[in-house]
Amino acid sequence: MTQNITHESVAAGQAVPEPTPEEAAQLEELYRDFDRENLIPLWTEIGELMPRVPSPKAVPHVWRWNDLYPLAARAGDLVPVGRGGERRAIALANPGLARTPYATPTLWAAIQYLGARETAPEHRHSQNAFRFVVEGEGVWTVVNGDPVAMRRGDFLLTPGWNFHGHHNDTDAPMAWIDGLDIPFVHYTDAGFFEFGTDRVTDEATPVVSRSERLWAHPGLRPLSGLEDTTNSPIAAYRWEHTDRALTEQLLLEDEGHPATVSQGHAAVRFSNPTTGGDVMPTIRAEFHRLRAGATTDALREVGSSVWQVFDGAGIVVLNGETKALAKGDLFVVPSWTEWSLRADPHADSGFDLFRFSDAPIFERLSFNRTYTQGHTTS
């Protein structure tokens, strides 16, 4: 592969004579006229607009849970939840994106903190959202009037334009991560927002939500819901089911049956039961488990992702730089960044990680591409 070839090196190899003084003056006048008419010539911009491979401004970065949570707790003491600010959510700001509140150009991630007996009022918006709980319980998120319990390991959906609010029914605070497609919706000027009730429409605290009672039965679809839906109708994907699926993959591998992504690497994708596709049109969600000492291949992908360590310890290698990871830590993988994972070989248990990405957008546009082990797929 000719990775050293650039637009600049190609231009430098062309035997183009220097302009005469008269031509140089005419060029200056031409560029001034371009500016006056709000025009920009491609030949001065092609290197940035059309790089040979993706050249993201976002950079790989790790946020430590042991730093995030105390800051969120301090905000809990000082910043009220209510109308205006709406949520006590603290966005992960990628250092390469000029202090925008974005993890990547398409993905927003935040730690949200709800204090004891607090209620976050209802609202709805075009942006698709989810919650993932790395620790704690006691909060119910109410989505279109359906109270959904939030517990450790649960993945919970709030698809676009669904009214939602949260209430803490305990005497202890709780924090979780939010993921949304805010940057993508913002850049495409597609966002709408509407206030709902000042509290939540149903303060009940059921163990199981109505959506789960109807939809969350493996392989079974209610005849009352035969139409395909854009977003998954399941409000919560429970940890016990995720854990069991990953455990069984590794047990099948032990028995010599094909079940894992690679040796010692079990993984699942959360899916929409009406289509078999992703849970939301702009966000893909997965869960990965590596046995102690297991390693993934180094991979590059078009599109970006955010990961959170759910349990265990290990390392991530991002463009050749190794970062140690522990429970709760989050890291971002920008487009075409090379990444790989390795579980701690001395750990008593596996290395569990939650991942969400913008893959559905790029697959729908046929921009998706992956490079690994000397093979490129698209």
For 318-334, give one letter per residue: b (16+ CB within 10 A) or e: beeeeeebeebbbbbbb
CB 170 within 8 A of CB 161: no
163: confidence class by pLDDT, cuts 50, 70, 90: very high
- Picking from 75-84, 86-95, 155-164, which range would have the lowest pLDDT averaged per residue? 75-84
Q: Is the pLDDT of residue 377 over 80?
A: no
Q: For residues 361 and 359, give the distance between their C-alpha atoms in angstroms, rounded to a whole number.
A: 5
User: Across residues 23-27, what is the average pLDDT?
Assistant: 94
Whether 259 shows a pLDDT value over 90: the answer reads yes
Tell me the DSSP string of 137-188.
EEEEEEETTEEEEEETT-EEEE-TT--EEEEE-SSS-EEEEEEE-HHHHHHT
Task: Report the predicted TM-score, pTM, of the whole model to 2 decimal places.
Answer: 0.93
Q: What is the pLDDT of residue 372?
A: 87
Q: Cα dist. 206→139, 174, 177, 240, 354 in Å?
A: 11, 18, 22, 17, 26
**Average pLDDT value for residue range 309-337:** 98
Determine the Cα–Cα distance for residues 330 and 355; give it in Å rounded to an integer. 10
**Does the pLDDT at position 113 exceed 90?**
yes
Mean pLDDT across 112-116: 97
Residue 161 pLDDT: 97
Report whether pLDDT(41) > 90.
yes
pLDDT of residue 2: 47
Output the pLDDT for position 11. Answer: 63
> What average pLDDT does the segment 86-90 reach?
94
Q: Which pLDDT score, from 0 to 100, does residue 9 have? A: 66
Higher pLDDT, 184 or 51: 184
Q: Taking CA 156 as the corner, what is the angle to CA 150 and CA 157, rounded to the nearest 5 degrees?
A: 140
Lowest model confidence (mean pLDDT) among 145-154, 206-215, 345-354: 345-354
Looking at residues 43-60, what average pLDDT do you find? 92
User: Facing residues of 301 across strands?
Assistant: 370
pLDDT band for 8, please (50, 70, 90 cuts). low
Residue 6, pLDDT above cutoff 90: no
Tell me the pLDDT of the chain averaged across its residues.
Answer: 94
Q: What is the pLDDT of residue 149?
A: 98
- For 3, residues 6+ apart whose C-beta sits below 8 A from its C-beta are 52
pLDDT at 165: 97
Average pLDDT of 127-145? 97
Per-residue pLDDT, averaged over 243-262, amounts to: 97
Q: Is pLDDT at 3 greater than 70 in this prediction? A: no
Q: Average pLDDT in the 94-99 region?
A: 93
